[in-house]
Amino acid sequence: MVMALLEHWKLSTEDQAALLGIAASNRAALSNYRSGKPIGTSRDQYERVGHLCLTLVPVFPYGYNLAMSNQALALGWILKEGSASDAR
């Protein structure tokens, strides 16, 4: 789910790596995560993934399955003008 979120936000590989706390050159780890392998081997990575998951709580107030029926609506908010992502 986290990798799908990062992909949906159209983040660069470097930005994805930075959010997950891994080196930008570690494309193998990103590939593993995209294929479904568990993210995280350290407390820092677990906390980073936890924070990313917390961004989804307001998006999925009625449950994951309902929200995923309209992914563009559920996950597209980060790309909208005026969102917190404008600050980066």
What predicted TM-score, i.e. pTM, was given to this entire model?
A: 0.62
Q: What is the pLDDT of residue 81?
A: 60
For 33, the domain range is 2-87
Numbers of helices and strands, H then E, in the chain: 6, 0
Q: What is the pLDDT of residue 17?
A: 92
Our measurement of the distance from residue 16's CA atom to the centroid of its chain's CA atoms, rounded to an integer in Å, reads: 8
Give 77's contacts (C-beta < 8 A, 6+ positions apart): 59, 83
Q: Where are the beta strands (DSSP E) in 15-68?
A: none
Going residue by residue through the chain (88 aa), what tens digit of pLDDT does each one get?
A: 788 888 878 889 999 999 899 999 999 999 999 998 988 788 998 898 888 877 766 655 555 555 555 666 555 655 666 555 454 4
Structure token digits, residue 32: 């593993």
Q: What is the pLDDT of residue 25?
A: 92
